[in-house]
Amino acid sequence: MILDNLLSYQLKVYISVICSGLWIYFRTAKCYVMIPRMQILPVLFVMIWSYLNYYDPLFLPIGLFILWAYSEVYTRSINNLTQNN
């Protein structure tokens, strides 16, 4: 699916495992706030992400990148709101 011409399935699995290990190792308390509870959008995102990960292991690092980007945008918007008040 993603980069099939360049990477073997086994290499994709290794990349995925390394990325997930790095994410777990370097996570902060902010990581637990990234996915708010009781909201449908994060639930749908995680469900689709889980589904896609079965088809191609590279969806795991892609999803982690999206979570990180979302957390950065969320944190900056919260910081802007608190600075303006």
Write the pLDDT tens digit of every residue in 7-20. 999 999 999 999 99
Number of structural domains (the chain) is 1
In a domain, 1, yes or no: no
Q: What is the pLDDT of residues 72-82, one digit of tens each?
A: 887 788 777 77
Q: Is residue 31 part of a domain?
A: yes
Please give the angle made by the CA atoms of 34, 35 and 36, to the nearest 5 degrees: 105
Q: Is residue 37 part of a domain?
A: yes
In a domain, 2, yes or no: no
Q: Amino acid identity of 59?
A: F
In a domain, 70, yes or no: yes
Whether 35 has a pLDDT exceeding 80, the answer reads no
Q: What domain range is 28 assigned to? A: 9-84
Give the separation between CA 78 and CA 75, rounded to whole angstroms.
5
How much is the pTM? 0.73
